[in-house]
Chain A
Amino acid sequence: MRLDAILRVVAKFVLPFILVFGLYVQFHGDFGPGGGFQAGVIVAAAVFLHAIIFGLDQTKLIVPPVIVETMVPLGVLVFAGVGVAAMLTGSNYLDYSHLAHDQIHGQEWGVFLVEAGVLITVSGTMIAIFYAVAGRDRK
């Protein structure tokens, strides 16, 4: 059982870097390839790695299923909410132009928030699927 010490130590080292890389992909999405979908999967992959090395029960202590199940609709709420906020500024749905003092900043904020919503929902969905599949044989 203790033979996997290398795996455990390496995993602990790697996990923060995976998360940081996930955030890099997230924020780089404004300027190049990347964005909420890819970042969401990377963040979820960090959770998978933890579960594979340390066991599902340990992972569920860090990322409880309740939070995961909340993340799935929460991200959609953020996305749709930004659209409604745009409507409240007098523009069309999902038209971010008036979200900030000028159009360029407005669009940037809008895309930033929408991508954050995508990140939340995608990572939540991936983890929820993983939990469902991994926890299938236990009752």
Chain B
Amino acid sequence: MISSNLPALQVVLPLLGAVLTALVRRGQIAWFIALVVSWTMPMIAFALLKQVLAEGVVSYALGGWAPPLGIEYRVDLVSAYILILVSLMGALVVSYAPRSVASEIAPERQAWFYTMYLLCMCGLLGIAITGDAFNAFVFLEVSSLSTYVLIALGRDRRAILSAYQYLIVGTIGATFYVLGVGLLYVMTGSLNLADIAGRIGDIDNIRPLLAALAFITVGISLKVALFPVHLWLPNAYAFAPSVVTAFLASTATKVAIYLLLRYLFSIFGVVFVFRDLPVTEILITLSVAAMIIASVVAVFQANVKRMLAYSSVAQIGYITLGIALATQTGLTGGIVHIFNHAVMKAALFMAIGCVVFRTGAVKIEDIAGIGRHMPLTMGAFVIAGLALIGVPGTVGFVSKYYLVAAALEKGWWWLAAIIVISSLIAVVYVGRVIEVAWFRDPGAAIRAAREPPLEMLVFTWILTAAIVVLGFDTELTAGIAGRAAEVLLTGMK
């Protein structure tokens, strides 16, 4: 009974958990509920992956109404990969969270924090698992609304402003998405993604389809924070509570990218999007701009979290670059970078969360010399920073290897050169923090700092270890990413 209901449980358990945390209203118990739910999620996700590998696509009819009329939950290799990523990151972040949350969020709001976190989790997993275009919109809203609250819970008053900024942008994005879905519905008469994919080829009048593609791509791009519509992201990441930043940076934009992949490859199809339309050229231009401009902006940031946020925009550029190439190697690189970037960014934000927990400092100049007093924390930061640059032996190298290989396959030397240049800029901004943290004399506030509590350190280092281990053993990430790319390139039918 449980194994046949796994797709529903993947979404329902966080929802039930959210409701329970809202009913108990005590921070400690709420955290425990969130912890139990968060560790159940990756177990379900791995069980689903096993089913997909053994039997192919898993389809689940919600409410017993058969698709395409009813809502279908549909797990294939791509969605299983994203489910595992999101649920694992959630489990690690929640295990790391309790003391950081207790120090940054007012006591009476802590239970609400876990409610919002679980709702966000429910929405993100829902987007990844659903096979229904409108249901995806609902989950997009569930995750977005809870994200606005999570960001607004930050200590800094500017958190509310950045949450509001994100609310405006996010709402526009969601509206564009649903407009696009509406056009698709008019043209195909279906909301089921697989069904739409099957019917879309028969349509003669392609103008509404072009409009739908434009609306959906732009709408999701706002959520992805694709350059140049990324402006909500740096403030949101900088002023949200540390735990929220670590969670969002590793999950929210990644799920939006999944949705983009779904539409570009599974629904509209490679031929329509990449052969008949200049999507490759547009996406590559934007990706390259993100990789260069956002990296340069990151160099000049005074706030570490803001710097990492701009670096996220640049890294998203790598992912969309892989998507834009639309070849087996390129797509593998993009998809594997979804996972790799999540792991390294979570590690970086968790390490900074430890620093904030002990010193309250987020400005680069304020953490001078902190490496001598919190060597383990900043050690994790250095390794994750090296992965951001793409040093061999880390996950960052794996992604960039695939992307450079894909660029060379096409004979685009200049693109490979741009990837390398962008990595060199990463050396500058990561190096700046490392230089200040390790080679400057500490101030009085930093001298008093010690290593953070055990669980914060342990979970930061689990991710840091993953950066190195997955940098050598690429079977799990690049292996599955490669097969996911195959699934996407062959289409849904």
- Tell me the smallest distance from the CB of B24 to a CB of chain A, in Å: 10
Which of B20, B61, B64, B115 counts the most A-chain CB atoms under 10 A from its CB? B64
Q: Is B15 in the interface zone, CB < 8 Å from A?
A: yes
Q: With A and B bound together, what is the CA distance between A72 and B19 in angstroms?
A: 9
Known: A72-B22, A87-B5, A87-B8. A80 touches B61 (CB 8 A): no
Q: Is B448 in the interface zone, CB < 8 Å from A?
A: no
Contact, CB under 8 Å: B5 / A92: yes
Q: Is B454 in the interface zone, CB < 8 Å from A?
A: no
| Interface of chain B residues 36 through 70 with chain A (CB within 8 A) | 60-65
Instruction: Please choose the segment from A26-34, A41-49, A93-101 that sits at the chain B interface, where 4 or more of its residues have CB less than 8 A away.
Output: A93-101
Contact, CB under 8 Å: A92 / B1: no
Chain A contact residues, majority secondary structure: helix
Across the two chains, which residue of chain A brings its CB closest to B119? A76
Q: With A and B bound together, what is the CA distance between A88 and B5 in angstroms?
A: 10
Q: With A and B bound together, what is the CA distance between A93 and B18 in angstroms?
A: 18
The residues of A that contact B18 with a CB separation of less than 8 Å are 73, 76
| Interface of chain A residues 60 through 118 with chain B (CB within 8 A) | 70, 72-74, 76-77, 80-81, 83-84, 87-88, 90-97
Q: Contacting B23 at CB < 8 Å: which of A74, A91, A93?
A: A74
Q: With A and B bound together, what is the CA distance between A108 and B15 in angstroms?
A: 24
The residues of A that contact B1 with a CB separation of less than 8 Å are 87-88, 90
Chain B contact residues, majority secondary structure: helix
Q: Is B12 in the interface zone, CB < 8 Å from A?
A: yes
| Interface of chain B residues 1 through 32 with chain A (CB within 8 A) | 1, 5, 8-9, 12, 15-16, 18-20, 22-23
Q: With A and B bound together, what is the CA distance between A94 and B62 in angstroms?
A: 7
Contact, CB under 8 Å: B62 / A92: yes
The residues of B that contact A92 with a CB separation of less than 8 Å are 5, 8, 60-64
| Interface of chain B residues 128 through 161 with chain A (CB within 8 A) | none
The residues of B that contact A77 with a CB separation of less than 8 Å are 16, 19-20, 23
- Tell me the smallest distance from the CB of A112 to a CB of chain B, in Å: 15
Q: With A and B bound together, what is the CA distance between A83 and B5 in angstroms?
A: 11
Given contacts A72-B22, A92-B62, A93-B63, 7 further A-B contacts (CB under 8 A): A70-B23, A73-B20, A76-B19, A81-B16, A88-B1, A92-B5, A92-B8
8 A/B residue pairs, CB under 8 Å, sorted by A: A83-B8, A83-B12, A87-B1, A87-B5, A92-B60, A93-B8, A95-B65, A97-B64
